[in-house]
Homo-oligomer: A and B are copies of this chain.
Amino acid sequence: MAATRTRKGEESRSRLLHAATTEFARLGYHATKVSDIVAAAGLSQAAFYLYFTSKEAVFTELIAEFRGRLQVLADAGKLATHLSPESVPDQVRANVLALLQLLMADATLTRIALFLAPDGESIRDGIAALIMANLQANQAAGIIRPDLDVAVGADAMVGLLERLLRRWLKTGEGAPESLASAAADVIMYGILNREVL
């Protein structure tokens, strides 16, 4: 079904996939009609079913693709490194940046996977779990406050990233570097002015 034999087929399939990404991101899953996708791809409705079993199938494939990319990052250990005490802040910033860059690399796909898919929540939960594991390890190492509820800490990190990402997806404003560093700082240091209090 999904197997393509010729180069031309390959190309049609990827055109459909791309069109689907665009349309889903633009309209959401339900509002996107198969006819929208094929129109954007310049193909017929029937052609769609040459490459995908159903509308849901493309969507699923898109999500799977996203999950795959995320897995690569997770496997690379970027999200679960032990921090060496010397340069903690910089490492945290770097980690956040890596994640953010991955998510920003394919904006439309990210939008679909994280914010439009029914199981977007579970993906975000997966990220949160990774981060939580990281916090736990570093809490044991004494770098994270011992009284911190790590689940809440992870939620703060992920929740903040979610919102920053949404803003960025909408406006496109802000460089990954500055966003990552601002986010890391808030999470690391909190918002209070300790000098005064």
Measured CB to CB, the residues of A under 8 A from B are 28, 30, 85, 88, 118, 121, 128, 135, 142-146, 148-149, 152-153, 155-156, 158-164, 166-167, 182-183, 185-194, 196-197
A7 vs B187: C-alpha distance in the bound complex, in angstroms? 53
Question: Measured between C-beta atoms, what is the minimum distance from A179 to chain B in Å?
Answer: 8
Which chain B positions have C-beta within 8 A of A146? 193
8 contacts between A and B (CB under 8 A): A145-B191, A149-B182, A156-B160, A156-B163, A159-B161, A186-B190, A188-B190, A189-B190
* Chain B positions within 8 Å of A191 at CB level: 135, 144-145, 148, 153, 156, 187-188
How far in angstroms is the closest Cβ of chain B from A33? Answer: 13
Q: Are A193 and B145 in contact (CB under 8 A)?
A: yes
Residues of B within 8 A of A186 (CB): 148-149, 152-153, 156, 187, 190
